[in-house]
Amino acid sequence: MEEARAVLERLERIEALDRAGAGSPELLVELRALLEEAVAWSRTEGGDAGECAVDGLRSALVRAAPRTPPALGDVPPMT
């Protein structure tokens, strides 16, 4: 349950930053952290839906930041 709460809190932070006009680099840092938290949540909760959500988020981050440092690779794929 703590993992799900962390995901929801991260989403709220991202929304607040976006409303405040945060730049892309700052938002990408938060999105990467969201991905890590979503992976932890998915592993705890299990199930195909969580894994699909994490994969979708990972794909969206790759599309949003194709030229950013390799921090995206720091989050391993679901196994």
Where residue 61 falls among pLDDT bands split at 50, 70, 90?
A: confident
Question: Quick check: pTM over 0.75?
Answer: no
What would the two tokens of residue 54 be? 């994490």
Domain parsing of the chain, residue ranges: 2-74
Residues 12-43: tens digit of each pLDDT: 999 999 999 999 899 999 999 998 998 888 88
Residues 6+ apart with CB under 8 A from 15: none
Report the chain's terminal Cα–Cα distance, integer Å.
21
Share of the chain above pLDDT 70, in %: 80
